[in-house]
Amino acid sequence: MKDTFARAENLLARIDQLAAISEDETGVTRTFGTPAFLRGSALVRSWFEQAGLATRVDSIGNVRGRLESRHPVAKTLVIASHIDTVVNAGKYDGPLGVLLGLDLLENLLAAKTGLPFHVELIAFSDEEGVRFHTTYLGSKVVAGSFDQTLLTKADAQGVTLTEALRTMGGDPAALAQDAIPADQWLGYFEAHIEQGPVLWENRIPVALVTAIAGQQRVELTWRGMAGHAGTVPMDMRQDALAGAAEFVLAVEQFGLRHKAELVATVGKLDVRGAASNVIPGDVVCSLDLRSADAACLGTAYEELRSLASQIAESRRLTLHWNPIQQTAPAVCDAHLNELLAQAIGEAGHAVVPLVSGAGHDAVPVSAVAPATMLFVRCYKGISHNPLENVELADVAAAIDVSDRFLHLLSTHYQTHHSA
Amino acid sequence: MKDTFARAENLLARIDQLAAISEDETGVTRTFGTPAFLRGSALVRSWFEQAGLATRVDSIGNVRGRLESRHPVAKTLVIASHIDTVVNAGKYDGPLGVLLGLDLLENLLAAKTGLPFHVELIAFSDEEGVRFHTTYLGSKVVAGSFDQTLLTKADAQGVTLTEALRTMGGDPAALAQDAIPADQWLGYFEAHIEQGPVLWENRIPVALVTAIAGQQRVELTWRGMAGHAGTVPMDMRQDALAGAAEFVLAVEQFGLRHKAELVATVGKLDVRGAASNVIPGDVVCSLDLRSADAACLGTAYEELRSLASQIAESRRLTLHWNPIQQTAPAVCDAHLNELLAQAIGEAGHAVVPLVSGAGHDAVPVSAVAPATMLFVRCYKGISHNPLENVELADVAAAIDVSDRFLHLLSTHYQTHHSA
């Protein structure tokens, strides 16, 4: 039996091999359905097959390998993450969870440890949504919530999703058959880099994810009166940038006051027709609000909307408040989380419950099955960037915790589900 | 004798004729030395000649017409403004002052009213500085402060100023001879649209300019740490936009506190690599400070610099403070302003002293000669824009005031300078 460090080294070597396959030479880019993506997918499939899993690529391009239990009527635990990337990505966002899952199953097979439930290891084909501007294509098919109207959606080159699927060897007509029926799910487990700084700053290798934050995105347009910076007196101005700046600070203050429940960000701010000698008359900015608590998210949205209106009114600006996107929070399963917390504790680590501010495949899955996630510390919290990195010891810790989690889940399943 | 309304109608008709000459068909664009500029200049020259002025085009392209006094040793009053424009300009910025000057001289000639001093009417060739990114080329030659090193400066097409002058028929070697020696100046008078909203808002046709504001321009770069808007907790952020927003509001507050002495504007603000789901790590903004009081301008500059440093320090941001431009205030001549104020009062208008926040040819001229300016109300203060407009009654008022000013100046000159 290899120790967890040797397994972690093997896992990281595979991540390097996969990361060498990219649309461009300098970074890691494998967006959904591209030739580089298909080469990466074929490599992952070959690893699944070599491990002895019953492997296939489904109609949306997910690589799926099954380890069947000896109990044919058993339920299925899905272990998964994604193998598509953003443009100029890091190596670990996605592949870490897939290849950690593969390592877990290889370890079980080597030890000839049977499980009382089936396991399906899935490398989702599209989580990032770069190509078709729609996230979770892969996991939505598996969760049975794929929106058929997306098939006519075109990418930047005008290729529709239907055409892209055919090029990949997928079958748009078979998408519904690739769902795992709700009654067959035992649960869902995904390991993923944190993509944030909490574990890094606190020097803790792994964390338990309690929820994936819901999100509200808004585009705000502030209109005042453009004017000459030299000739319009201070008290006759309708400065759209000053209004937007007041909002930026109000959002920050609101976020700090409610920092336990949410994050609030103005990431974009564009002064239209900007010049250093022109008083800004037209400013567009964004608002990104995230919280694990749907009620809190709704309240925050309304309060910030009201604050923005007050700012606009007091400054004689007009404000256009345009909601862009709204996703509900996804809560992880209490029972699976209890087992995962137990596994983390047994492995000797502090149990840190975290809310994921980034979206994950667990979002669509949690609508049909109990889901949990394990976060792994990454370098300074940096992600979606070539600087993305994880440490060997943290990967070993994640392997150790995941082994224990599978064991605890087996024991619990046998106690409660055995005939 | 025509009344001032008839004269104003004639003046506005000439402005329309000149505005019809443009580099593009839809707007008014006559930047220094272009074919459209030269056609416009030729039209103005023909009007000067028809009026009976001794007219020539000097080496920098200024159109200059002289009305000689019968006293050969008399000093020279320069009445001037500019005939170049910004891109997609209005009709009145510049031409109003030139053609009002022409109207004054035509009126004197029609009435056979001799003056005890010479008058030189000048249509400056470059005030806006669009083509060579340097303002006041025309008036600097007349004031004797032309910087010879500018001759090698190239425009966007790589044409140097020397080459441009030769194309226009000018002589770079003769520039120094076109200066009016300091001891020959009696003074300088320019009428110009306000380009700001004070007269419009207060329903007053004209104003007295007491000074042309000095200016400080700074580029500020704020650097924090870019991060994922979903995963970095509120209290672990180094948000460069929040820092810049605090500065925008600090500048506004500072400006409002000192609104009698200055204007302060952040006109540009650029979030580098902006995305709605990324905490801004890199923001560049501008600062434009203007005041008629050099000491006040210096204090404001230092106070805002210190404020910016405090904001950066308290937010763990780095700040780069890059001074871009600095021009000293130009103060109008107290005695000429007294006469102009008297003229405004005699014409029945409230005497409103204004500081010009925009630059004017009076800036270089005031370094060698007593200068004064008369502002004329323009529609909503809009300028550098096709919406620029002036009302007939206001032009008539400006003509009336200018007539009276010339008369008062004559009387005063005769009292003090006659042999």
Residues 162-201 of A with CB under 8 A from B: 194-198, 201
Same domain, B73 and B170: yes
Facing B201 at nearest CB: one of A236, A246, A270:
A236
CATH no. for residue B290? 3.30.70.360
Query: Tokens in use for B401?
Result: 């005031």
Task: Report the alpha-carbon distance of residue A254 to residue A257 in Å, rounded.
Answer: 5
- Cα A263 to Cα A216, A296, B378, distances in angstroms: 11, 11, 48
Distance to chain B for A219, nearest Cα, Å: 9
Alpha carbon of A241: minimum distance to chain B alpha carbons (Å): 8
pLDDT at A239 over 70: yes
Nearest to A266 among B241, B252, B259 (CB): B241
Q: What is the mean pLDDT of residues A351-361?
A: 94
Q: Which of A327, A351, A380 is the last residue of a domain?
A: A327
Helix (H, G, I), strand (E, B) or coil at A176: helix
Query: Which pLDDT does position B419 carry in this prediction?
Result: 45
Q: Is A319 helix (H, G, I), strand (E, B) or coil?
A: strand
B384 backbone φψ class: left, alpha, beta (φ>0; ψ -120 to 50): left
Q: What is the ipTM of this complex?
A: 0.85
Residue B57 corresponds to which tokens in the numbers above?
Answer: 């085009």
Q: Are residues A74 and A176 in the same domain?
A: yes
Could you report the per-residue pLDDT of B226-240, keeping only the tens digit for each? 888 999 999 999 999
Q: What is the pLDDT of residues A280-289, one digit of tens each?
A: 999 999 999 9
Label residue A213 by pLDDT band (50, 70, 90).
Answer: very high
Query: End of a domain among B272, B295, B327?
Result: B327
Ramachandran assignment for A203, one of left (phi > 0), alpha (psi -120 to 50 degrees), beta (any other): left
Candidate from B239, B259, B277 with C-beta closest to A233:
B259
The answer on B376 and B256 residing in a single domain is no
Residues of B in contact with A233 (CB under 8 A): 196-198, 259, 263
**For residues A119 and A227, is the Cβ–Cβ distance under 8 A?**
no
Are B32 and B59 in a shared domain?
Answer: yes
Angle at A127 between CA A330 and CA A357, to 5 degrees: 40
CATH label of the domain that carries residue B137: 3.40.630.10
Mean per-residue pLDDT, A141-151: 96
Let me know: does B170 contact B60? Beta carbons within 8 Å: yes
Same domain, A207 and A345: yes
Q: What is the DSSP letter of B234?
A: G
Task: Give every CB contact of residue B248 below 8 A, 6+ residues apart in sequence.
Answer: A241, A242, A245, B266, B269, B285
Range of the domain at A366: 2-212+329-418
Q: Across chain A, what does the average pLDDT equal?
A: 95
What are the C-alpha distances in Å from B112 to residues A371, B5, B11, B98, B186? 98, 20, 20, 21, 22
The residue among B215, B235, B248, B327 with the most chain A CBs within 10 A of its CB, best to mutate, is B248
Residue to substitute from A87, A225, A231, A251, interface B, most B β-carbons within 10 A: A231
Structural tokens at position B85: 């424009």
* A133 close to B (CB below 8 A): no
CB contact under 8 A, B263 and A229: yes
- A contacts of B229 (beta carbons < 8 Å): 263, 265, 267, 288, 290, 357
Q: In this structure, which long-range contacts are made by residues A167-175, counting pairs with CB atoms below 8 Å and at least 24 apart in sequence? A: A167/A33, A168/A33, A168/A38, A168/A61, A169/A57, A170/A57, A170/A58, A170/A59, A170/A60, A170/A61, A171/A59, A172/A59, A173/A59, A174/A58, A174/A59, A175/A59, A175/A60, A175/A141, A175/A146, A175/A148
Closest CA to B353 of B337, B377, B371: B337
Distance from CA of B274 to the nearest CA of A (A): 5
Q: From its phi and psi, is residue B143 left (phi > 0), alpha (psi between -120 and 50) or beta?
A: alpha
Residues with Cβ < 8 Å from B321, sequence gap 6 or more? B218, B220, B305, B308, B309
Summarised one tens digit per residue, pLDDT across range B14-39 is 999 999 999 988 789 999 999 999 99
Q: Mutate which of A228, A285, A380 to disrupt the B interface (most B C-beta within 10 Å)?
A: A228
Taking the CB of residue A109, how many other CB atoms lie within 10 A of it?
14
**Nearest to A140, CA basis, from A130, A155, A154, A125:** A125
Q: Are the Cβ atoms of A381 and B271 closer than 8 angstroms?
A: no
CB A29 within 8 A of CB A88: yes
CA distance B323 to chain A (A): 13
A179 and A143 housed in the same domain: yes
Residues of chain B neighbouring A230 (CB-CB closer than 8 A): 196, 213, 215, 263, 288, 290, 356-359
Q: What angle do CA B106, B199, B355 make, to 5 degrees?
A: 90
- Residue ranges of E strands in A275-331: 278-279, 282-291, 318-327, 330-331
* Residues A315 and A226 placed together within one structural domain of the fold: yes
Q: Which chain A residues are within 8 Å of B239, Cβ to Cβ?
A: 252, 265
- Examine the domain organization and report whether B120 and B235 are in the same domain: no
Tell me the whole-structure pTM to 2 decimals: 0.85
Closest chain B residue to the Cα of A266, Cα to Cα: B276
Nearest to A127 by CA among A91, A80, A76, A173: A80
Query: Which of residues A280, A308, A327 is at a domain's end?
Result: A327
Whether residues A362 and A309 share a domain: the answer is no
Does B267 touch chain A if contact means CB atoms closer than 8 Å? yes
Give the pLDDT confidence score for residue A419 in this predicted structure: 45
B411 and B340 within one domain: yes
- Stretch A15-41: mean pLDDT: 94
Query: Which amino acid is it at B322?
Result: N
Closest of B278, B282, B232, B233 to residue A217, by C-alpha: B278
Residue A255 contacts B, CB cutoff 8 Å: yes
Q: Are residues A235 and A318 in the same domain?
A: yes
Tens-digit pLDDT profile for residues B94-149: 999 999 999 999 999 999 989 999 999 999 999 998 899 888 999 999 999 999 99
Task: Please give the torsion angle defined by the CA atoms of residues A145, A146, A150 and A152, in that order, rounded to the nearest 10 degrees.
Answer: -140
B279 in reach of chain A (CB within 8 A):
yes
Chain A hits for B290, CB-CB cut-off 8 Å, are: 229-230
Asked if residues B122 and B62 have their Cβ atoms less than 8 Å apart, the reply is yes
**Range A47-68 average pLDDT:** 98
Query: With contacts defined as CB-CB under 8 Å, which chain A residues touch B232?
Result: 196-197, 263, 357, 381
Residue ranges in chain B whose pLDDT is less than 70: 1-2, 418-419
Cβ–Cβ contact A93 with B under 8 A? no
For B59, B61, B132, B235, the CA distances from B34, given in Å and listed in that order, are 15, 11, 12, 57
| Chain-chain contact of A264 with B234 (C-beta, under 8 angstroms) | yes
Distance separating alpha carbons of residues B275 and B181, to the nearest angstrom = 58
Asked if residue A296 and residue A337 are part of one domain, the reply reads: no
CA-based nearest distance B133→chain A, Å:
15
pLDDT for the residue A418: 57
Domain total for chain A?
Answer: 2
Task: Give me the residues of A, 220-249, that contact B with CB < 8 A.
Answer: 227-236, 239, 241-242, 244-246, 248-249
